[in-house]
Structure 1
Amino acid sequence: MNATADKTALRDASSVLLIRGKGDDAHVLMGQRGAKAAFMPEKFVFPGGAVDPTDGQIPLARPVAPACQARLSQGHSAPNALVAAAIRELWEETGLMLGRAGRWDMPPADWQGFAAKGLVPDAHGLRYIFRAITPPGRPRRFDARFFLAHADDVSGDLDDFSAACDELSHLHWVPLREARRLNLPFITEVVLAEAQAHIEGEDMADSVPFFDNSTEVSTFRRIA
């Protein structure tokens, strides 16, 4: 497969909506992609990115809830890889860590910094709330899973982004009710609305919304 095909192939990805506060005072962590980024330039997004080959081998201090695990298993043979990728991407792009004290045997290269803090990734607080596949014709295409997490589960200072990579700029906590005023991708707006309804007390359906653009025909369905 040539390099062009590699870039446009559909890749699994995970993103985290990290929420700070509750109800009317809830904030979500967002950052802005660079103007020269191939995918969604200048858009404000949640921390996230593609699943790495080693993510499926990562030990978890605690797994996601059984219902989330079952839904993640629909369409993916290694759901723990999706969860680990969400935690890794949050850490790489913001410096914030979802983990519990623990030891590793031999962490992969891209997890060594995480392991050096004496933490093992903890997925217990993650809730799987959305799935979306990028439509055909885009310069990058992802089969993305979105997870809701609470800042109370983060180890360290919630305002210290000094360990973040340079993937996202303008990292900041945005009032959830104001987040949709930013320059957002369409799917980010949709996921924000889903998260806001849940955080403000609305009962969520016992299923996960799924925008399926795997073909030229866009389909909306739910993962029960």
Structure 2
Amino acid sequence: MSVALQDAATVVLLRDGSQGLEVLMAKRSASTRFSAGAFVFPGGAVDPGDSIAPDVCVGLESDQCDARFGEAGAARFYLTAARELYEEVGIWLFDGPPPGDPQLRRKLHAGALSLARVLDDCGQRLDAQVLHYFSFWTTPPMMPRRYRTRFFVGQMPHGQTPKVDAVELTELCWTTPQQMLQRQRAGEVDLIFPTVKELQRLSQYASVEQALSALREIDEVPEIRTRHRLENGRRVLILMPGEPGYEDLPAW
């Protein structure tokens, strides 16, 4: 039975640390239905309410945005990214201080309060320039849950401290990409394939400025659809577009 694709957005949040570029990573709860127990970048599925993006985002031309993403209403991905970052790790990217309600994150996550109402009440907007779209991954068939995930990168805002939601996520850590990849190779942490590849990409940058300068230059963001070589019903090799043998495997 085919599994429906769901739109999603994730945020690679960066800061400069004592050992170089660091990225914020979160461990998903063992009870979640996707990537349980894995370390991931904060993010989640697009909500219908994220369609208000053109009304609450500044620095974003809808027509140009749609052309870059290749579909209508693409501004919603920016709002999804910012909303999920707040719901999951408490980082507020909008153009003012976070609202004072200590239960706001829980209410937004539970659907008891809409982000549109919150932004209307506080008169804040999202400057889309704080997020930079740089990667696009689609979950392969035969997975129990499938997503079309847009990856954004941004800098950790001054004066804020990430805090785990303790619902979908159980712990947070700042780490260099190299350290997280080393932990994965040692069997200490679980990472899904797109996370590994994006950490490998980030490992070439020494600072936030260097990373953002390079990733901002990306104009075209192709959809990444990996293909898998199977033997005896087990996945043994994951190939990226352009790698040897990729075109020999079935398209999807």
Q: TM-score range by the shorter chain?
A: 0.7 to 0.9
Consecutive unaligned residues in structure 1, runs of 5 or more: none
Pick from 82, 98, 114 the counterpart of residue 110 of structure 1: 114
Identity %: 28
For the residues of structure 2 that align with 1:183 and 1:115, how far apart are their CA atoms? 40
* Larger-Rg structure: 2
Tell which deviates more after alignment, 47-56 or 116-125. 116-125
Pick from 73, 90, 114 the counterpart of residue 95 of structure 1: 90
1:191 match: 198
Pick from 150, 156, 159 the counterpart of residue 151 of structure 1: 156
For the residues of structure 2 that align with 1:130 and 1:199, how far apart are their CA atoms? 20
For the residues of structure 2 that align with 1:101 and 1:213, how far apart are their CA atoms? 40
Q: 2:170 matched to 1:169?
A: yes
What pairs up with 1:26-175 in 2 under 5 angstroms? 26-58=21-53, 59-63=55-59, 69=65, 72-74=68-70, 76-101=71-96, 109-111=113-115, 112-113=117-118, 119-152=124-157, 156-159=159-162, 161=163, 164=165, 166-175=167-176
For the residues of structure 1 that align with 2:203 and 2:58, how far apart are their CA atoms? 26
Consecutive unaligned residues in structure 2, runs of 5 or more: 98-107, 184-188, 230-238, 243-252
Opposite residue 27 of structure 1, the aligned amino acid is E
2:14 match: 19
Q: 2:208 matched to 1:208?
A: no
> Normalising to structure 1: TM-score of the pair?
0.76
Q: 2:224 matched to 1:220?
A: no
For the residues of structure 2 that align with 1:37 and 1:186, how far apart are their CA atoms? 18
For the residues of structure 1 that align with 2:80 and 2:91, how far apart are their CA atoms? 14
| SS of alignment partner, residue 76 of structure 2 | helix
Superposition RMSD on alpha carbons, in Å? 3.5
Q: May I ask how many residue pairs the two structures share in their alignment?
A: 206
- CA spacing shift, 1:166–1:117, aligned 2, 3 Å: farther
| SS of alignment partner, residue 37 of structure 2 | coil
Structure 1 ranges of 4+ moved more than 6 A: none
